[in-house]
Structure 1
Amino acid sequence: MRLLANSVHTFVKTMTERETDPINQARVRMLFYILVAYAIFGLTLIFAYSYNFQLLKLIRASTIFFFASLFIAFIYYANVWRGVAHAVLILMTLLGGWGNLLIFVHGINAATLQYIWMASALGFYMKGPKWGWFYSTINILPVFIDVAFTDRTYFRLDVDPEVVVRPVYIYVLTFDFFIITFLHYFFFKTYSKNFLTLTQTKNDLNQTNRKLNEIIYDVKKLSNARMDFLSTMSHELRTPLNGVIGLTEVLLKQNPRKDQEETLSILRFSAENLLALVNDILDFNKLESSKVELENTLFNLDNLIRNIHASMLIKSEVKGLELNLFIDEDIEKRSMYGDPTRLTQVLVNLIDNAIKFTEKGFVNISCAIAERDNQRIRIDFVIEDSGIGIEENNQEKVFDSFIQASPSINRNYGGTGLGLSIVKRVLALHQSGISLKSLPGKGTRISFDIWFELARQNFEGNLIGREEKPISDIDFSDLKVLVAEDNLVNVYVLQQTLLQKDIRPDVAENGKKVVELLLEKDYDVILMDLHMPEMDGEEATKIIRSLNDGRKANIPIIALTAVVNDLIIENVIRNGMTDYVAKPFRPDDLFGKLQKVVTNR
């Protein structure tokens, strides 16, 4: 018996595994079990009707047995259960309700109603709502015909009804009730099972979501901890670097001997390299967290590129390289809106890479107009070198974070592997991409393009918007500056830097002293360190902004901070500071901020 049950289970499993939908799998099983039951039912009735010599019912029983067996074969070998379901419903309709009305009973009896119920339920369970309604309608129709027409000879075939043998009739009724009960039980058992499965899946999903939320929370905590760590490290590294770079700049301005100048240049180069590594890590962190937004300020692209070229000349000359610059003549006359800071970051990274990986030959920088209309202009940028090149299978990798073309690159050239990743992310903010062509030993060509909005002009041809004058053309000598800084090295760096423009600042070692000096004297701008004893820069700023003297309350306050992240910058602006300068700073960075003060004054 167990062997037979296992065989039937394997047989049914083979048929149902062809379907992926659990409901369809249930339909196949249900149809198979019904056909097996009807095959046994038909075979039993064949013997019963043969014994009672009931020819018409014998034919019906033989038909049921034949087609039930045939349909089982069709389902198993041809996988046409959908068509078989239709055939079963049609036969049930013809041999059941309509057969009983016209041939076997000449009316409606209990067995007829059972056939109608079976066909209706099977229609819905096997074929869905539309076919369910169809088969229900054509099966119920004999009941209405029987009720509507009282003349029992009307619509009847010229055949006498079969004599009902009570034991056989009871057997038929019992079987029909069993099938009806089985249909509902089996389908709703499957429905319930799937519903429970869905409920369990939903609960599992909710549990998974809770775990994911916990993981996300932990990741955010880790990310915040990383940001705090980077901010702390930024401050700890930038503060001494501010002294090294600032004092190096000061010494280079004091006409050192040739050997001293060379030593100072190497010192500045090393310090700036270290600063570049710190900046790369912080910039990458900001770009990765999607907290960077592009500025839209008026600038002259020609001036920007020429300044970048000039700043990179020293590096190229040290290596004996030609650093060539090609700028489209039309660009010289055009001012445009964009983010000059981020564009500088992209170009400096690419040019610095080109110089780093080129031992001899050249590095070419070109900038040309590719497309223009009345409002916008598209500029093509190309940086080309005769350097070591990149293997084809590594050309995609170099844009990944912390990845370099090969391990030897880091050993020979250093770096974090973040430069090109930063470039890629910044260009993505500009809705642009980067194109790289390279041959090992031959050199590399990197290109990208950016759309800029052209500066508008009034009817007299003057620019709407204002480009800032070169810093060298600004007179800073009468600018009254108050420096708030407690670190003596930083104070000395600031004093010596400001003296380059004949600015002699007053110094306050904490926020409390800043407020006192401001109440005593008039100043044009305050350079405010954020972290000071007794009273920090943020608290001092709040007090200044609340002063009754409107001029002093609105004095420009430029924050000086070695910690540069979005939270610090937001706090700087929210607490009333006008702008900020990141330490360590280049003199031009500081004078660029002071230039705005002079212009607005």
Structure 2
Amino acid sequence: MSLAQNYIARIVARETDPINQARILMLFYLIIAYTFFSLCLIFAYAYNHQNLQLTRASIIFCSAILLLVAIYFANIWKPVTHTILILLTILGVWGNLMIFVHGVNVATLQYIWLASALGFYMLGSRWGWFYAIVNIIPVLIDGAFTNKSYFFLSSMPQAVTRPVHIFVITFDFFLIIFLHYFFFKSFKRNFVKLNDTKNELNAANKKLNRTLTEVEQLANARMNFLSTMSHELRTPLNGVIGLTNALLSQDPRKDQEETLSILKFSAENLLTLVNDILDFNKLDSEKVELENTPFNLAWLVENIYASIKIKALEKQLDFKLEIAEDLKNKRLYGDPTRLTQVLLNLLNNAIKFTEKGFVKLSCVNLEQSNNQVKVGFIIEDTGIGIEESRQKSVFEAFAQASASINRNYGGTGLGLSIVKKVLDLYDTSIQLKSNLGKGTTFSFNITFPFETMALDDNNNGLQQGLSKNDLSALKILVVEDNAINILVMRKTLNKHGIEPDVAENGKIALDMLGRNHYDVILMDLHMPEMGGYEATQLIRALTDPIKANVPIIALTATVSNQVIEEVLSVGMNGYLSKPFHPQDLFTALQKFIQE
């Protein structure tokens, strides 16, 4: 029994389609049945000396043996099926009509039924129709003509004994029933299996969706946690950095200045760490989109250069800046904030890892069309360099060029990862060339839409505002509940001769605005009784158009895309993240002077 099962399994295993496997198995059982059936008929016809029937039974027996061999060794089940159908048509239907019966009997009808079912089940609809028609046509002709000599050969109808006739009819009925039963059973089994697979797939999809929801919730919880921690860290850092800046501006003694500089340096390094982690997570969440705002590249780069030049001078480095002349009169459209982030990360790294020599930033016009310009950015240094085996990994999160880098220079290893993610948003990449001990060059290209500015545009806008240092006439309301932050704001604004009014929450701010006129309101977002969002909405709803349209700048230690969108959606004019550099505050105030 196991030998037969192995024999059958080897035949079926050659097909991967479960329907074809069922067809092969059905065909195999059919041939086996016909082998024994024809063998029984051979003995019966030989015993009754019915030579013509004996010849037909012998042909069927020999064909069955050959077809079994063909299936097993050649795996040609479709040609075998055609062979069976041809034999069934010729020896069964046409043979009965012309030789054995000279008409249509029950066995003839069984053969037609068997051929039609076998053709459809084994070979599909096209061949099924073909064999059905080929077997039905002679019966229709036989019924249409009374003169049947068209079908007769020289022999007379052949007599068959009753037991043999009953055996043949019973066997044919059995085969017809078997074909329907077997194919339906296989079809049902595969349908049930398919339905089970579908149910399993649906269950897996539901489980996957639950997992994705949990992962998304975890990611949101992580972002919320980081935003909360960022707010809690930024608030005291705002006090430390703000008061340090205020003390440094009051002509301290040399020893005090050194202490304050170290304090400021440490606090700013901590702030950089917080910013890097928050930025990395925002970029990693793939929810960041680039802005498309106009900016002047030369002005942007010159301000970046000015903001970090002092770091290069402290290390006695030659800090060089080159900007192509044909870029200076162009107004580009892009995300200046993200571009600034990329350049600051690369330049700060270059200065940090260079002990002597130079650091250079170059901006070149690589290619220009009617409305687009491809700008090449190159940052070179003569620093410690990066060994070749580590040059790919430095762009990974928390990775640094060597284990000693963190000990000697500090840092999180997130800077270059952030650079790569921002440039991915720009659909560009960064190239790195470095020689250990000789220096490193980073370069990348960004294509910006642009328009040409008038020659005097460069002297207008924010640059013109930067020259206006007299802010003492501004009437400013600071809405803030944290005492340290209030002290920082007072000292920062006092430096420019501004004595601000202070409101501890939004409700008090509304009362004070009702009694006084203010040029600008610096609004904290989270305060007791009434926060900055609600206060802003109520201010914008005032009937007095001047007071309703007073410029409001959000001051927040929570920095995220959602917060920025909410700030702008309630009617605020802009925002500053705590802690902020005093110059950033004055630049924003100068902007409103011009307006």
**TM superposition score normalised by structure 2:** 0.94
Alpha-carbon distance, 1:320 to partner: 4.3
1:261-298: CA deviations, max 9, x gaps? 33333322222221111111211222222322222222
Secondary structure in 2 aligned to 1:295?
coil
Give the aligned partner of residue 572 of structure 1: 567
Larger displacement relative to structure 2 (544-553 or 178-187): 544-553
Give the aligned partner of residue 468 of structure 1: 462
Secondary structure in 2 aligned to 1:153?
helix
Equivalents in 1 of 2:78, 2:146: separation in Å? Answer: 39
Q: 2:83 aligns with which of 75, 84, 87?
A: 87
Structural RMSD (CA): 2.3
Alpha-carbon distance, 1:391 to partner: 4.4
Structure 1 residues 210, 59: closer, same or farther in 2, change over 3 A?
Answer: same
1:131-190: CA deviations, max 9, x gaps? 222222212222212112221111333332221222112111111111111111111111
Give the aligned partner of residue 585 of structure 1: 580
Larger displacement relative to structure 2 (182-191 or 470-479): 470-479
Equivalents in 2 of 1:587, 1:520: separation in Å? Answer: 29
Note the residue ranges of structure 2 that are not aligned, 5 or more in a row: none
1:11-67: CA deviations, max 9, x gaps? 111111121111111111111111111122222222222222222222221222222
Larger displacement relative to structure 2 (210-219 or 383-392): 383-392
Give the aligned partner of residue 537 of structure 1: 532
Give the aligned partner of residue 482 of structure 1: 477
- Contact in 1 for aligned 2:322/2:363 (Cα 8 Å): yes
Letter aligned with residue 316 of structure 1: A
Q: 2:295 aligns with which of 288, 296, 299?
A: 299
Give the aligned partner of residue 448 of structure 1: 444
Secondary structure in 1 aligned to 2:148?
coil
Equivalents in 1 of 2:184, 2:443: separation in Å? Answer: 65
Structure 1 residues 555, 9: closer, same or farther in 2, change over 3 A?
Answer: same
Aligned ranges 1:63-82 → 2 under 5 Å: 63-82=59-78
Equivalents in 2 of 1:163, 1:360: separation in Å? Answer: 117
- Contact in 1 for aligned 2:81/2:122 (Cα 8 Å): yes
Alpha-carbon distance, 1:485 to partner: 1.3
Structure 1 residues 548, 326: closer, same or farther in 2, change over 3 A?
Answer: closer
Structure 1 residues 464, 362: closer, same or farther in 2, change over 3 A?
Answer: closer
Give the aligned partner of residue 421 of structure 2: 425
Give the aligned partner of residue 591 of structure 2: 596
Equivalents in 2 of 1:583, 1:594: separation in Å? Answer: 16
Give the aligned partner of residue 260 of structure 1: 256
Equivalents in 1 of 2:273, 2:527: separation in Å? Answer: 27
- Contact in 2 for aligned 1:299/1:467 (Cα 8 Å): no
Structure 1 residues 144, 556: closer, same or farther in 2, change over 3 A?
Answer: same
- Contact in 1 for aligned 2:329/2:455 (Cα 8 Å): no
Structure 1 residues 343, 10: closer, same or farther in 2, change over 3 A?
Answer: same
Note the residue ranges of structure 1 that are not aligned, 5 or more in a row: none
Q: Is it true that 1:149 corresponds to 2:163 in the alignment?
A: no
Equivalents in 1 of 2:217, 2:523: separation in Å? Answer: 31
Give the aligned partner of residue 99 of structure 2: 103
Letter aligned with residue 444 of structure 1: T
1:382-435: CA deviations, max 9, x gaps? 223344444444433333333344444434433333222222221122122222
1:345-395: CA deviations, max 9, x gaps? 111112222333344444332221111111110111122334444444443
Equivalents in 2 of 1:198, 1:258: separation in Å? Answer: 83
Q: Is it true that 1:235 corresponds to 2:219 in the alignment?
A: no
Give the aligned partner of residue 133 of structure 2: 137
Give the aligned partner of residue 555 of structure 1: 550
1:87-115: CA deviations, max 9, x gaps? 22222222222222222222221111111
**TM superposition score normalised by structure 1:** 0.93
- Contact in 2 for aligned 1:386/1:443 (Cα 8 Å): yes
Letter aligned with residue 374 of structure 1: N
Equivalents in 1 of 2:434, 2:183: separation in Å? Answer: 66
Secondary structure in 2 aligned to 1:533?
coil
Letter aligned with residue 520 of structure 2: V
- Contact in 1 for aligned 2:462/2:587 (Cα 8 Å): no
Q: Is it true that 1:492 corresponds to 2:487 in the alignment?
A: yes
Equivalents in 2 of 1:249, 1:471: separation in Å? Answer: 22
Equivalents in 1 of 2:232, 2:188: separation in Å? Answer: 64
Alpha-carbon distance, 1:499 to partner: 2.9
Seq. identity, %: 60
Structure 1 residues 141, 547: closer, same or farther in 2, change over 3 A?
Answer: same
1:423-454: CA deviations, max 9, x gaps? 22211221222223344444433221111111
Give the aligned partner of residue 352 of structure 1: 348
Secondary structure in 1 aligned to 2:463?
coil
Aligned ranges 1:354-373 → 2 under 5 Å: 354-373=350-369
Structure 1 residues 311, 144: closer, same or farther in 2, change over 3 A?
Answer: same
Equivalents in 2 of 1:321, 1:94: separation in Å? Answer: 101
Structure 1 residues 461, 406: closer, same or farther in 2, change over 3 A?
Answer: closer
